[in-house]
Amino acid sequence: MSLPLLTATYHHDTYPAISPTNPSLSQSGKTILITGGGGGIGFEIARSFAKASASRIIIVGRRGSLLETSAEKLRKEFQTKTEFIAQQADIGDDSSITDLWEYLHSQNIFVHVLVLNAAHISATGPDTLTIDKGKLMEAFNVNVGGNFLMSAKFVKQILRPKGQQLNLVNVSTSSVHSNPAPDSNVYASSKGAFTALVGRIADERPAEDVQIISFHPGALYSEGASKNFDRTLLKWDEFALPADFSVWASSPEASWLHGCFVWAHWDVDEMKADREIQKKLAQKNGYMKVGVQGLTSVPLEAFMNK
């Protein structure tokens, strides 16, 4: 399997253009909600938003004790005005999601940025048709249904001021366009389904309403990866790369990628300066979105009665 290289520069670690300390990426005055925020990449994303001076960061997950421990670590590291809140919730449970947003409303908390990081990950083996349907639907319930309901509640917040722009960052995966995807067809398909869905939602809503960006975070030597892979197997990416990219993706600097799926590895300045990339984005023909690729497009007018 080959890797898509959209830019000449391929990053494995953070770099100046996406540094959360850049004034243009400041999150001052904003409240950030991160699902799956108790550990791994979610925890690092919280750190990056704190570096960007976010006023309040809410980390959400199923394990309450882990969340509290992580929140305390963040408070000790960032002796600033950033408030850290640990809130237990399960995005695979509709009632839990509803309770979460009702609690935030009761506390007069308005969320400006939603980072969808939590996911259902499970290896299905080489023969997908042998798995139980229930296992299949568990993945889709979280990776599609849960993320959808979180997004809907986020956009329809009662406390949202009229005209207030929102930012939604979807932590996706390269598996959405990996063919084949050994032992991970269910994960790849469910993540691909939601990434396709939010890309189409972005067609309905301008970035001025809710800016939506999906991205592949990279190959990260997380706790889960350490249980299945030897550290010497790959040139692993640093957690700071996707964490800082999340901040950049939620800023006005990234508005031109509204609705797109990109890799955190690709250099943002090179992408923006590339005239061919900008031309394809302007054509609004599904470029950088999930779908069937490699086909020659024909104007819709060709199929309409004149």
What CATH number has the domain bearing residue 297?
A: 3.40.50.720
Query: How far apart (Å, rounded) are the C-alpha atoms in residues 135 and 143?
Result: 13
Yes or no: say if 113 and 33 are a contact pair by the CB < 8 Å rule. yes
Check residue 158 and report its DSSP letter. Answer: T
- Domain extent, residue 278, equals 16-303
* Strand, coil or helix: 175: helix
Determine, yes or no, domain membership for 10. no
Query: How far apart (Å, rounded) are the C-alpha atoms in residues 269 and 2?
Result: 23
Grade residue 259 by pLDDT with cuts at 50, 70 and 90: very high
Query: How far apart (Å, rounded) are the C-alpha atoms in residues 133 and 114?
Result: 30
Check residue 236 and report its DSSP letter. Answer: P
Q: Are strands 261-263 and 210-216 parallel, antiparallel or unpaired?
A: parallel
Yes or no: say if 58 and 85 are a contact pair by the CB < 8 Å rule. yes
What percentage of the chain carries pLDDT values higher than 70?
Answer: 93
Grade residue 285 by pLDDT with cuts at 50, 70 and 90: confident
Number of domains into which the chain is organized = 1
Determine, yes or no, domain membership for 133. yes
pTM metric for this prediction: 0.93
DSSP secondary structure of 63-90? -HHHHHHHHHHHHHH--SS-EEEEEE--
**Residue 300 has what pLDDT?**
60
Grade residue 294 by pLDDT with cuts at 50, 70 and 90: low
Yes or no: say if 67 and 87 are a contact pair by the CB < 8 Å rule. yes
Determine, yes or no, domain membership for 66. yes
**Residue 31 has what pLDDT?**
98
Whole-angstrom CA distances from 215 to 26, 116, 149, 168, 244 are: 20, 11, 19, 11, 12
**Residue 61 has what pLDDT?**
96
**Residue 299 has what pLDDT?**
66
Grade residue 4 by pLDDT with cuts at 50, 70 and 90: confident
Determine, yes or no, domain membership for 6. no
**Residue 58 has what pLDDT?**
98
Averaged pLDDT for residues 32-49: 97
Looking at the chain, which runs of residues are DSSP E strands?
A: 31-35, 56-61, 83-88, 113-116, 166-171, 210-216, 261-263
**Is residue 76 predicted with pLDDT exceeding 90?**
yes
**Residue 86 has what pLDDT?**
98
Determine, yes or no, domain membership for 26. yes
